[in-house]
């Protein structure tokens, strides 16, 4: 990563965190519900056989409603756990036991691990968090690179996987500085709109 890109990412992370911190909890809850409703209505999500869904931090778009909808639809749902430099997705359900990671993120304690390369190409949708996004599909994460590594490997193994970012409109910016290893998302959903990334 060049020093100029690293500096641009650092500045944008600071701005994005300030913006997210400025949102009152009631407003965040209302906007989260709108984002979740838009995501749940997407045909690509409704048709998915497997949904990869994180448990959100307090400042992020809440995902609990989507989890309940997916399980009610009979979709298989997997949640991420950080294992060193990698993300492992474990199957979850209503009885799943959770613990807080070192980063304060809720992770499943146990569950069947996701196998990406499957016969018949199961339709898989990855719902992603992040700090900032642009209309070209650029995503700024929290700096660990876990989702970029997972998505790069997943796309090599499962060409049908679709990555959808869940965000508040205030997280949309003109441009997210990117390196060669930064993966683009296929869709971005906010409380105000659904952005389908051209060419994805």
Q: Spell out the domain ranges in the chain.
A: 3-196
pLDDT at 121 over 90: no
Q: What is the mean pLDDT of residues 176-186?
A: 92
Rounded CA-CA distance 175/71 in Å is 35
> In CATH, what class is 3-196?
alpha beta
**For residue 23, pLDDT beyond 90:** yes
DSSP letter for 118, please. Answer: -
Three-state secondary-structure class, residue 43: helix
> Given pLDDT bands bounded at 50, 70 and 90, which one contains residue 115?
confident
């Amino acid at each position: 990563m060049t020093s100029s890109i690293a500096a641009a990412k650092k500045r944008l992370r600071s701005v994005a965190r300030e913006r997210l911190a400025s949102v009152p909890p009631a407003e965040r809850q209302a906007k989260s519900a709108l984002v979740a409703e838009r995501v749940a209505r997407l045909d690509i999500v409704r048709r998915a056989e497997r949904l990869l869904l994180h448990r959100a931090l307090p400042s992020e778009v809440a995902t609990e409603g989507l989890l309940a909808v997916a399980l009610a639809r009979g979709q298989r749902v997997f949640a991420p756990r950080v294992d060193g430099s990698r993300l492992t997705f474990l199957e979850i359900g209503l009885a799943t036991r959770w613990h807080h990671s070192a980063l304060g993120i809720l992770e499943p304690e146990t569950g069947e691990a996701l196998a990406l390369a499957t016969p018949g190409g199961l339709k898989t949708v990855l719902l992603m968090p992040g700090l900032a996004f642009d209309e070209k599909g650029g995503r700024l994460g929290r700096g660990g690179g876990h989702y970029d590594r997972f998505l790069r490997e997943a796309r090599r193994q499962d060409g049908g996987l679709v990555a959808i970012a869940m965000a508040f409109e205030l997280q949309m910016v003109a441009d997210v500085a990117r390196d060669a290893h930064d993966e683009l998302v296929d869709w971005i959903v906010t409380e105000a709109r659904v952005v389908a990334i051209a060419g994805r």
